[in-house]
A and B are shown apart, each in its own frame.
Chain A
Amino acid sequence: MSYTEATLQLLSPAGSLVESDATAEYLPYVEKLSDDQLREFHRTMVITRAFDLEATNLQRQGQMGLWVPSLGQEAAQVGSGFAARDQDHIFPSYREHAVGIIRGLDALDIIRMLRGLTHGGWDSDKVKNFHIYTLVLGSQTLHATGYAMGLTLDGVTATGDPETDQAVVVYFGDGATSQGDVSEALIFAASYQTPTLFFLQNNQWAISVPVERQSRTPLYLRPAGFGIPGIQIDGNDVLISYASSRKYLEEARSGGGPRFIEALTYRMGAHTSSDDPTKYRKDAETAHWAELDPISRFETYLRGRGESDAFFRDLAVEAADYASDIRTRTLALENPTAELIFDNVYSEPHALVAEQKAWLENYESSFDQGGAA
């Protein structure tokens, strides 16, 4: 599914601002952005891409079992990521590297998870409520909805103060929309009028299956059936991603109930490093979307506003340093010890787990003493 007449866009693929009746209500959010904020949008997209490409290389060199690239989806993530306020809670799927970086996540923590050192990787309390990745598609939409139900019960949303009122953003993809959990999340969110922004990144492909197999109707139309307002945006336009997310989040946090954004974007790379997109995608399609690259588009826009060559040159150096630092620290990561298997299976002592942990310790130490006991 490519752009349609319904697709909201503030920045054309040529990098110029689009002013129309349809986008008039979104433009003010962009006009409030300072030059520094615009630079930060670009910086985060560029850093994320450098990180992602370095991680892909690290996987190819055997440093990770798997990598999940974010290549091509930077604008959808950076716009919505900056739209959220610090007090908001973010429930990602597993590809939202840029959002994590915005929330202060050390991107190495993503690598730790995909390197097989942990199933989680970070403490959401320490990274501005950026929750850990969820690998089963769509499951997190229900957790996000339940969390948002809790915000309502706690009275920390819809008090009328946008500086403190909390909301929830949940990310999911076009494949996940076919999961029952996503429909159930929309139902619960609508029934309890939760302050939830459902942010769908439609990257056109669920591994090898095109979005047309997931839905015969544009996905932004689906929430209407649940009583939830929805729009479709150009997900490769960081400005509309920011403005629409900002607007919808403010509506959600002020008691308006859940909102839904379908961001049309494109997974420029593979689903994961285990995948070979040349088996199912046509070169013409890949080339078409390459023309719509979110980063080059925004660079054109910034240059048109008079941004200096030096900014882009310095940023390229910073991104390379960032990637290099990730490489260095990845290679220095140490493997976990066997206690990780047993610790934290439960919060409270558990006889069977304790017994098996003791057995393994005894078994391992029997080798130190020169033979199994």
Chain B
Amino acid sequence: MSGVQTMAMAKALNAGLRQAMLDDPKVLLMGEDIGPLGGVFRVTEGLLAEFGDKRVMDTPLAESGIVGTAIGLAMRGYRPVCEIQFDGFVYPAFDQITSQLAKMTNRHEGKLQMPVVIRIPYGGHIGAVEHHQESPEAYFAHTAGLRLVSPSSPNDAYWMIQEAIASNDPVVFFEPKSRYWPKGEVDTSASPQALHSSRVVREGTEVTLVGHGAMLAVLLQAAEVAAEEGTSIEVVDLRSLSPVDYEPILASVRKTGRLVVAQEAPGFVSLGSEIAATVTERAFYSLEAPVIRVAGFDTPFPPAKLEAVYLPDADRVLEAVDRALAY
């Protein structure tokens, strides 16, 4: 496979995983229902048939067990990629991820590497039941030793999953499940962008919008509406949630003077809060308005019939843009 192809993100992830497995025989996939079923989102479809059950392991239904044994496999020189079925199911593995996986290299004083990827389909917009629409990235961003990334497009998904697998540090990989199906172009022969870098995806002059994953589509939609109304908006795709690549954000803010950070996760003690604080520290004299956060409410994710009210949409983003411009 080479050149530019049009495919959905789920398919792009599948192609990226497949390429990583072809490139390195130490890459293993582990998770619930990832074998014959191909995962509940079909991201691993066909990989069992191609690579066999020693490299595509349908595991017992135990998230801590998946991550804990992945740590042991990584100690043995493997590069496990663990699929957590849904965002809200990651918590049984929280101890193994935060107290063990994240700290292993440090505890071993650098003599041990932990090339483990934890794939988590995250976020709302799919009308699912409780525990199936959450955005838990802040819990993991707070833990040193982990790296966090989230693609927003099929092309990034194809490349970033391969870069995450190639990382010698543990990577929590947040897949925006509402973006699994829309298609986009994937250039399989291009050189990938560095994993932990953010990127300006739309240029503008008056307000900067920053977000990641599924939020990117909302931000681009908001920018389009604003443009029709005569407001020029720049959009930055965060891509890496930990560490955050601040330079493109700061450069944008120095130009626009206004920043709105948007996310599906609750706003209190969140990635958006952290970015707001850091940009305020580093670009204070460039700011014409306070950094404004647009986020999910600080409530449990509501029953699905209310998710459209809960999740920030283009209108909520534009309301924040209006507030920023009012200063």
Give A residues with C-beta under 8 Å from B.
118-120, 123, 125, 131-132, 134, 136, 139, 141-151, 153-154, 180-181, 184-185, 187-188, 191, 343-348, 350-353
Show 28 A/B contacts (Cβ-Cβ < 8 Å), sorted by A.
A120-B107, A125-B111, A132-B108, A142-B69, A142-B72, A143-B71, A143-B100, A146-B69, A146-B71, A146-B73, A146-B76, A149-B76, A150-B73, A150-B78, A153-B76, A181-B65, A187-B60, A187-B65, A188-B62, A191-B59, A343-B110, A344-B105, A346-B147, A347-B105, A347-B168, A350-B169, A350-B243, A352-B242
Given the complex, which residues of A lie within 8 Å of B305, measured CB to CB?
Answer: none
Tell me the smallest distance from the CB of B9 to a CB of chain A, in Å.
26
Task: Find the A residue at minimum CB distance from B167.
Answer: A348
Given the complex, which residues of B lie within 8 Å of A147, measured CB to CB?
Answer: 72-73, 75-76
Task: Check if A187 sits within 8 Å of B62, measured CB to CB.
Answer: yes
Known contacts A346-B147, A348-B167; decide if A142 and B77 are in contact (CB<8 Å): no
In Å, the complex CA distance between A143 and B109 comes to 18
Other-chain contact of A188, B65, B77, B100, B168 (Cβ < 8 Å): B65
Known contacts A120-B107, A188-B60; decide if A345 and B69 are in contact (CB<8 Å): no
Task: Check if A344 sits within 8 Å of B109, measured CB to CB.
Answer: yes
Known contacts A154-B76, A181-B96, A353-B144; decide if A142 and B64 are in contact (CB<8 Å): yes
Tell me the smallest distance from the CB of A77 to a CB of chain B, in Å.
22
Task: Check if A180 sits within 8 Å of B64, measured CB to CB.
Answer: yes
Task: Check if A150 sits within 8 Å of B77, measured CB to CB.
Answer: yes
Task: Check if A145 sits within 8 Å of B107, measured CB to CB.
Answer: no
Task: Find the B residue at minimum CB distance from A123.
Answer: B111
Task: Check if B65 sits within 8 Å of A153, measured CB to CB.
Answer: no
Given the complex, which residues of A lie within 8 Å of B106, measured CB to CB?
Answer: 119, 344-345
In the complex, the number of residue pairs spanning A and B with C-beta atoms less than 8 Å apart equals 131
In Å, the complex CA distance between A136 and B104 comes to 13
A-facing residues in B165-181 (Cβ within 8 Å): 167-169
Other-chain contact of B69, A120, A132, A149, A180 (Cβ < 8 Å): A149
Given the complex, which residues of A lie within 8 Å of B316, measured CB to CB?
Answer: none
Interface residue tally on B, bucketed by range: 35 or more
Tell me the smallest distance from the CB of B27 to a CB of chain A, in Å.
12
A-facing residues in B40-95 (Cβ within 8 Å): 54, 59-60, 62, 64-65, 67-78, 92, 95
Given the complex, which residues of B lie within 8 Å of A125, measured CB to CB?
Answer: 111
Task: Find the A residue at minimum CB distance from B75.
Answer: A147
Known contacts A136-B99, A142-B71, A146-B71; decide if A191 and B60 are in contact (CB<8 Å): yes
Task: Check if B68 sits within 8 Å of A185, measured CB to CB.
Answer: yes
B196 sits at the interface (CB 8 A): yes
Q: State the 8 A-B residue pairs at the shortest beta-carbon distance, nearest first.
A: A146-B72, A142-B68, A150-B76, A146-B69, A184-B65, A344-B110, A147-B72, A347-B168
Task: Find the A residue at minimum CB distance from B28.
Answer: A153
In Å, the complex CA distance between A148 and B111 comes to 20
Interface centre among A136, A147, A148 (most CB of B within 10 A): A147
Given the complex, which residues of A lie within 8 Å of B76, measured CB to CB?
Answer: 146-147, 149-151, 153-154
Interface centre among B67, B76, B77 (most CB of A within 10 A): B76
Given the complex, which residues of B lie within 8 Å of A144, measured CB to CB?
Answer: 72
Given the complex, which residues of B lie within 8 Å of A143, measured CB to CB?
Answer: 68-69, 71-72, 75, 100
In Å, the complex CA distance between A143 and B73 comes to 8
Task: Check if A136 sits within 8 Å of B100, measured CB to CB.
Answer: yes
In Å, the complex CA distance between A119 and B108 comes to 8
In Å, the complex CA distance between A141 and B71 comes to 11
B270 sits at the interface (CB 8 A): no
In Å, the complex CA distance between A302 and B273 comes to 69
B206 sits at the interface (CB 8 A): no
Task: Find the B residue at minimum CB distance from A91.
Answer: B72
Task: Check if B109 sits within 8 Å of A118, measured CB to CB.
Answer: yes
**Other 20 A-B pairs with CB < 8 A, given A142-B68, A191-B60:** A118-B109, A123-B108, A136-B95, A136-B100, A142-B67, A142-B71, A143-B68, A143-B69, A145-B68, A149-B69, A149-B72, A181-B64, A187-B62, A187-B65, A188-B59, A344-B106, A344-B110, A348-B169, A352-B243, A353-B144
Given the complex, which residues of B lie within 8 Å of A154, measured CB to CB?
Answer: 76
Given the complex, which residues of B lie within 8 Å of A346, measured CB to CB?
Answer: 105, 145, 147, 169
Tell me the smallest distance from the CB of A107 to a CB of chain B, in Å.
18
Given the complex, which residues of A lie within 8 Å of B54, measured CB to CB?
Answer: 153
In Å, the complex CA distance between A181 and B69 comes to 10
In Å, the complex CA distance between A148 and B62 comes to 18
Given the complex, which residues of B lie within 8 Å of A146, measured CB to CB?
Answer: 68-76
Tell me the smallest distance from the CB of B59 to a CB of chain A, in Å.
7
Tell me the smallest distance from the CB of B71 to a CB of chain A, in Å.
5
Task: Check if A148 sits within 8 Å of B72, measured CB to CB.
Answer: yes
Known contacts A136-B100, A145-B72, A347-B169; decide if A120 and B77 are in contact (CB<8 Å): no
